[in-house]
Amino acid sequence: MKHILHLKSSIQGKESYSIKLGHTIVKKIQDKYPGSTLEELNLVDIEIPHLNPAVLRTFFIPGDQLTEEEKESIRFSDEVVKQLLAADIIVIGAPLINFTIPTVLKAWIDHITRAGITFGYGENGPIGKVTGKKVYVAMSSGGVYSEGPGKANDFVAPYLKAFLGFLGMTDLTVFRAEGLKVPGVKEHAMEKAIDSIMID
Type and span of the H or E element at 172:
strand 172-178
**Bridge partner list, 41:** 7
**Bridge partner list, 128:** 119
Q: How far apart are CA 195 and CA 21, in angstroms?
A: 11
- 142 annotated as a binding-site residue: yes
Q: Which of 94, 111, 99, 117 is nearest to 173 (CA)?
A: 94
**Bridge partner list, 139:** 94, 176
- 128 annotated as a binding-site residue: no
- 16 annotated as a binding-site residue: yes
- 143 annotated as a binding-site residue: yes
Q: Is 93 helix (H, G, I), strand (E, B) or coil?
A: strand
The number of angstroms, rounded, from the C-alpha of 104 to the middle of its chain's C-alpha atoms is 10
- 141 annotated as a binding-site residue: yes
Q: Is 45 helix (H, G, I), strand (E, B) or coil?
A: coil
Q: Is 167 helix (H, G, I), strand (E, B) or coil?
A: coil
Binding residues for FMN: 10, 16-18, 140-143
Binding residues: 10, 16-18, 140-143
